[in-house]
């Protein structure tokens, strides 16, 4: 190990196959560490400050800020390409010259302080409209929403007709701000189980409309709590002008979406979740930004390279997303993005982030085309050739993880949406890793859909299923999921729809016998989710509605569907109707989460798989002392089936997917089901037991002394 640089020694000891690439890894960590040092000493007197302190100072300085004591309003904006700047709005009747900002420093920062009005109150009324005007070198003027604005709203119909549909910036200064009542939950996602409920506030209603924060707080949070999830991942929170972008074309990074309500409403939602013991994660979009000019960051100060790489550089636009790409090597961009994270932690009490588009950030090819065909060869990730990996974006991600974990050392969580399998992504920074706590196991839903779409049940290969579920960098934790929002979007199908399709409209009633299609669908929906939960990772994620087999895809209102909200909703009314089988799937999801919470298997060492029988279609494995048995066979049940197990003793059923509460056939009498081991080796284990496993059924057995 003498040749290994000290700053990545831990990563090499973790994975010795990385040793030939140690120098490259060291250079990447050094860049982040250098930036961290420079940022911490960025004060005029070179006085060292912490990363959180710099981030907090920035969001407290830039943008519009009321002083409750003096009733002054301070506004600061970075726009180096502008010659002059003016603040305009309802408060000065949109006078373009009355409130000129001072060009204070050599970095291009404009600022202004508005004294109290004649009544001794703030000069800008609460929730009134504002804009900033920049005069360019040629004398022309451009109109923008302040980059750090904390509230942006859709224009009323008349304004939209006159001036277009661009969002409007508002000065958010409520006379009474929401006061948080609950502390952050004591869930430690680095140690405890993490069961994540991915949700979109706007679709969280059976009605064809945009649901509100308050409705989500009242109607959906209790459902999530009842199901047993301990974290919520909120999508589409950062303001986006185009609803159908699913929140991934962000226009205003510090503003939460006004479609669902006010900032105080979102604070109440998060506070209520905390009172239920539920963490709240933000799906943060720092991988790209909307191209909108009038209400976004694009061409903000008249140049195309303020927050982004220039168009002419070839790095300023995403080749598929029609969006702008940040210049992570610019100090002011780092300040903006890091402050954005700190803002959501401090102001809204988010507990961490799911970082969108990490694959796009990591690679100069953005995972597109031939460059995105990752084979697992380390040269694709950590070769000395700098053309593949964006070192500056990687350094930003390292700093972002530093910031979150410094601000929330006990509970802060970061999750990377990365399909590439970049090594060290989820290793701690101190070891030389990027610092994420988890990455999404993005290959798993693809596997299930390919099986359902392309193969008959008889052709499913147990070995292939196990391989995909376990093929990951052990020691770098992943979030397993059978389907997320990606699989729910129009153009694809949810697992339930792949399984049952049109039968979901006609045959889900309990008032008539199960049809073969629905029987198969309900059975496979349950065991697919359980084996993914138990074998696929160290955390688990479910997308809103999929827990009960939501029958339809997601399609947001757009020109192609006549602006309809019919498919932009979640039909919770279906699960509440006890005459439909949806409530059985919901019961199973609840039972699965409760069993994990009681016996624990997430965030424990990888399972030992003792059986992958291709003819019988049976998989068996042990994890954290529990025995998991899956019979995928479409027709064959087995009596006294022999299963190897390491720990001797008596076992009982902890979860049975065939239970009638879960829409099963109740073929196992759990009241008398006790399984005693025999002291003879079997399938590489020291003991075996014999068990009845009906077709298309999953069982979890636990040692009797754990009940």
| Residues annotated as part of the active site | 356, 417
Q: How far apart are CA 494 and CA 274, in angstroms?
A: 30
> What is the number of residues in the chain?
707
Residue among 244, 327, 226 at smallest CA distance from 594: 226
Q: How far apart are CA 165 and CA 600, in angstroms?
A: 50
Q: HEC profile for 409-440?
A: CCCCEEEECCCCCCCCCCCCHHHCCCCCCEEE
Pairing, β 478-480 against β 539-543: parallel
Q: Which letter does DSSP use for residue 326 in this model?
A: B
The SS3 call for residue 415 is: strand
To the nearest 10°, the Cα dihedral for 181, 182, 183, 184? -130
Q: How far apart are CA 541 and CA 543, in angstroms?
A: 7
CA angle 432, 438, 440 (to 5 degrees): 125
Q: Are 588 and 548 in contact (CB under 8 A)?
A: no
Token couple for 546:
């999929």
Write the Ramachandran bin of 636: left for phi over 0, alpha for psi from -120 to 50, otherwise beta: beta
Give residues with Cβ within 8 angstroms of 229, minimum separation 6: 195, 196, 197, 278, 542, 593
Residue among 487, 701, 500 at smallest CA distance from 601: 701
Q: Are 120 and 71 in contact (CB under 8 A)?
A: yes
Helix (H) or strand (E) holding 85: strand 84-89
Residue identified by tokens 């302040």 is 146
Q: How far apart are CA 53 and CA 57, in angstroms?
A: 6
Distances (CA, A) of 667 to 248, 282, 657, 664, 693: 47, 43, 10, 8, 9
Helix, strand and coil in the chain, % to nearest 5: 35, 20, 45
Q: How far apart are CA 372 and CA 430, in angstroms?
A: 29
Cross-strand partners of 490 = 492
Q: Is 560 exposed, middle or buried (0-12, 13-18, 19+ CB in 10 A)?
A: exposed
Q: Are 358 and 418 in contact (CB under 8 A)?
A: yes
Q: Are 274 and 225 in contact (CB under 8 A)?
A: no
Q: How far apart are CA 488 and CA 504, in angstroms?
A: 15
Sign of CA dihedral 380, 386, 389, 391: positive
Backbone angles phi, psi at 246, to 5 degrees: 65, 20
Sign of CA dihedral 556, 562, 563, 569: negative
Q: How far apart are CA 32 and CA 8, in angstroms?
A: 13
CA 417 distance to own-chain centroid: 7
Q: How far apart are CA 4 and CA 16, in angstroms?
A: 10
Helices vs. strands in the chain: H and E counts, helices first: 19, 27
The SS3 call for residue 691 is: strand
Residue among 364, 340, 335 at smallest CA distance from 353: 340
Q: Where are the strands (E) in 279-365, listed by range?
A: 279-284, 352-355
Q: Which letter does DSSP use for residue 242 in this model?
A: -
Token couple for 439:
């990455």
């Amino acid at each position: 190990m003498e040749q290994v640089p000290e700053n990545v020694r831990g990563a090499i000891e973790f994975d010795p196959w990385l040793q030939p690439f140690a120098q490259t890894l060291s250079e990447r960590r050094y860049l982040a560490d250098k930036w961290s040092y420079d940022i911490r000493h960025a004060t005029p007197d070179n006085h060292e400050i912490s990363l959180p302190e710099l981030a907090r100072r920035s969001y407290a300085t830039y943008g519009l800020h009321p002083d409750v004591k003096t009733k002054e309003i301070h506004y600061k904006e970075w726009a180096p390409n502008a010659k002059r700047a003016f603040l305009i709005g309802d408060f000065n009747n949109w006078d373009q010259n009355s409130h000129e900002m001072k060009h204070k420093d050599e970095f291009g920062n404009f600022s202004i302080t508005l004294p109290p009005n004649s009544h001794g109150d703030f000069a800008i009324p609460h929730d009134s409209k504002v804009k900033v005007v920049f005069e360019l070198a040629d004398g022309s003027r451009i109109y923008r929403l302040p980059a750090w604005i904390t509230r942006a709203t859709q224009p009323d119909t008349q304004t939209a007709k006159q001036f277009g549909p661009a969002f409007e910036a508002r000065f958010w200064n409520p006379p009474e701000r929401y006061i948080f009542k609950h502390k952050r939950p004591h869930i430690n996602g680095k140690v405890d189980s993490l069961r994540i409920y991915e949700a979109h506030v706007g679709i969280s209603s059976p009605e064809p409309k945009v649901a509100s924060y308050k409705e989500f707080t009242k109607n959906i949070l209790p459902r999530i709590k009842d199901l047993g999830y301990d974290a919520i991942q909120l999508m589409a929170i950062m303001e986006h002008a185009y609803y159908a972008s699913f929140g991934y074309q962000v226009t205003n990074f510090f503003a939460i979406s006004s479609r669902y309500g006010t900032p105080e409403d979102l604070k109440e939602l998060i506070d209520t979740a905390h009172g239920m013991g539920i963490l709240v994660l933000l799906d943060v979009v720092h991988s790209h930004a909307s191209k909108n000019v009038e209400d976004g960051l694009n061409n903000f100060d008249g140049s195309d390279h303020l927050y982004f790489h220039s168009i002419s550089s070839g790095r300023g636009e995403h080749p598929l997303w029609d969006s702008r790409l940040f210049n992570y090597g610019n100090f002011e961009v780092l300040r903006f993005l890091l402050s954005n994270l700190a803002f959501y932690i401090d102001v809204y009490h988010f507990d961490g982030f799911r970082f969108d588009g990490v694959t796009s950030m990591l690679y100069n090819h953005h995972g597109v085309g031939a460059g995105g065909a990752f084979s697992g060869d380390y040269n694709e990730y950590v070769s000395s050739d700098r053309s593949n990996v964006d070192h500056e974006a990687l350094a930003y991600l390292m700093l972002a993880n530093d910031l979150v974990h410094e601000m929330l050392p006990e509970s802060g969580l970061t999750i990377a949406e990365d399909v590439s399998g970049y090594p060290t992504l989820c290793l701690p920074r101190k070891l030389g890793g990027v610092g994420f706590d988890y990455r999404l196991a993005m290959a798993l839903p693809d596997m299930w859909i390919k099986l359902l779409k392309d193969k008959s049940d008889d052709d499913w290969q147990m070995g292939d299923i196990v391989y995909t579920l376990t093929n990951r960098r052990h020691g770098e934790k992943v979030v397993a999921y059978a389907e997320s929002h990606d699989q729910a979007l129009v153009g694809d199908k949810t697992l339930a729809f792949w399984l049952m399709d049109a039968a979901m409209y006609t045959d889900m009633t309990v008032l008539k016998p199960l049809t073969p299609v629905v029987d198969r669908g309900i059975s496979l929906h349950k065991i697919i989710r359980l084996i993914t939960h138990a074998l696929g990772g160290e955390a688990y994620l479910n997308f809103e509605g999929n827990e009960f087999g939501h029958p339809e895809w997601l399609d947001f209102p757009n020109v192609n569907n006549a602006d309809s909200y019919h498919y932009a909703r979640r039909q919770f009314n279906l699960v509440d109707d006890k005459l439909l089988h949806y409530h059985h799937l919901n019961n199973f999801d609840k039972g699965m989460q409760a069993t994990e919470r009681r016996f624990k298997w997430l965030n424990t060492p990888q399972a030992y798989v003792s059986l992958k029988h291709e003819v019988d279609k049976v998989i068996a494995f042990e994890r954290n002392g529990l025995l998991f048995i899956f019979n995928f066979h479409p027709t064959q049940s087995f009596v006294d089936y022999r299963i190897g197990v390491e720990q001797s003793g008596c076992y009982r059923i902890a979860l049975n997917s065939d239970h009638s509460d879960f829409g099963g056939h109740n073929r196992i009498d759990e009241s008398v089901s006790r399984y005693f081991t025999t002291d003879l080796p079997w399938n590489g284990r020291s003991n075996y037991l014999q068990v009845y496993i009906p077709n298309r059924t999953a069982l979890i057995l636990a040692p009797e002394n754990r009940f």
